[in-house]
Chains A and B, each alone.
Chain A
Amino acid sequence: QVQLVQSGAEVRKPGSSVRISCKTSGDTFSRFAISWVRQAPGQGLEWMGGLIPILGSAKYAQKLQGRVTITADESTSTGYMELRGLTSEDTAAYYCARAARETVEVTPASYGLDVWGPGTTVTVSS
């Protein structure tokens, strides 16, 4: 049973950066796309971007282009999401999630996201 374990809650000041990790158990890390999804308090889900570790090239939602970087370390089966230039609007729960099947598509359009991390709360406050 694949599990995703995320790093702990973070508090940041406006203008700073945050980096969240997502460690995957099991030996299928490299071939399955990992997406990052966030949810502001009381709000809906927002896809931020994703990456297929073995292919290396990430794709990002247009809204966050230039502020977000998604990477992966295959040696530790860990994915990372860094968000820069934080504002109060970035206060949210951040989830990593794994694609349900191996595809060459980074977005979770086909087959969906079937394994999710528990979420990491990021609070941006001065």
Chain B
Amino acid sequence: QSAPTQPASVSGSPGQSITISCTGSSSDVGGHNFVSWYQQHPGKAPKLLIYDVTNRPSGISNRFSGSKSGNMASLTISGLQAADEADYYCSSYTSGRTLFVFGTGTKVTVL
């Protein structure tokens, strides 16, 4: 069972919007609506940004939004800020014996 694939890096200028993709299969990302996204700054624990594809936990900025089409989920960050420079991971339930997987991770750079 392989992890959902994310681009290794995405960059953007302050104020721009960027989108991070998370491509899986019908066994994970495409099979249900249990996709979450996490942000991780260097040396810190991950932080939940999005759950169940589109939902934001309390306190998370509406600059972060999630979507899904088929086997690919996406995280969009609008109004990019310097503080958004971090690693981002998608995650998903999987019907395989792994039960739950994180994506390969994407490093976001703010130019």
Contacts and interface: CB of A to CB of B under 8 A. Distances in A.
A111 to B, nearest CB: 5
Interface residues of B, number: 29
A12 interface: no
Contacts, number: 79
B92 interface: yes
Interface stretch (B17-25, B43-51, B75-83): B43-51
Given A46-B102, A61-B100, A62-B97, A114 B89 contact: no
Contacts of A46: 102
A62 to B, nearest CB: 4
A51 B13 CA distance: 42
Nearest to A114: B48
A100 B51 contact: yes
Given A44-B3, A44-B105, A107-B93, A117 B45 contact: yes
A119 B40 CA distance: 13
Which 9 residue pairs of A and B lie closest in terms of their CB atoms, listed nearest first? A109-B93, A116-B45, A109-B34, A112-B51, A112-B36, A62-B97, A45-B102, A107-B100, A44-B105
Interface of A: 37, 44-47, 59-63, 95, 97, 100, 107-114, 116-119
Interface of B: 1, 3, 32, 34, 36, 38, 40, 45-48, 50-52, 57, 89, 91-93, 96-105
Given A109-B32, A112-B57, 19 more contacts: A37-B46, A44-B104, A45-B102, A47-B100, A47-B102, A61-B99, A61-B100, A62-B99, A95-B46, A109-B34, A109-B92, A109-B100, A110-B51, A111-B52, A112-B51, A113-B36, A113-B38, A116-B47, A117-B45
